[in-house]
Amino acid sequence: YVLREKGTERAFSGDLWDYHGDGIFVCAACGLPLFDSHTKFESGTGWPSFYQPINPFNVKEERDSSLGMIRTEVLCARCGGHLGHVFNDGPKPTGLRYCMNSVSMDIKPRDSVFMHKP
């Protein structure tokens, strides 16, 4: 529902919102590396939040005007899976908050992820 139909999981319901370990967050559908755990921060929203993607080419951003508001949707650049949205209220150094759905990602050990472009 989330990855393919652009749904949103309930806040504080996913497995990764409070994950504090080390690793690489990858797309749950295709395995593309998306975020480094070093860029994850506690946003208080109940969704995993990051201040930047691992590689800007690995995510795609599109205008989302659903639900009567204008937001920026974040998609996996390889498979097009819906990951979440990005907002301009994040911490330094970027000021961005990539608010992702836990169900859209898996966490992998750093040394098991091949870093490549989509």
> Hey, which residues are catalytic here?
99
User: 62 has which bridge partners?
Assistant: 73
User: 63 has which bridge partners?
Assistant: 72
CB-based burial of residue 31 (10 Å sphere; 0-12 exposed, 13-18 middle, 19+ buried)?
Answer: middle
Sign of CA dihedral 76, 81, 82, 83: negative
User: 60 has which bridge partners?
Assistant: 75
Amino acid at position 32, single letter: L
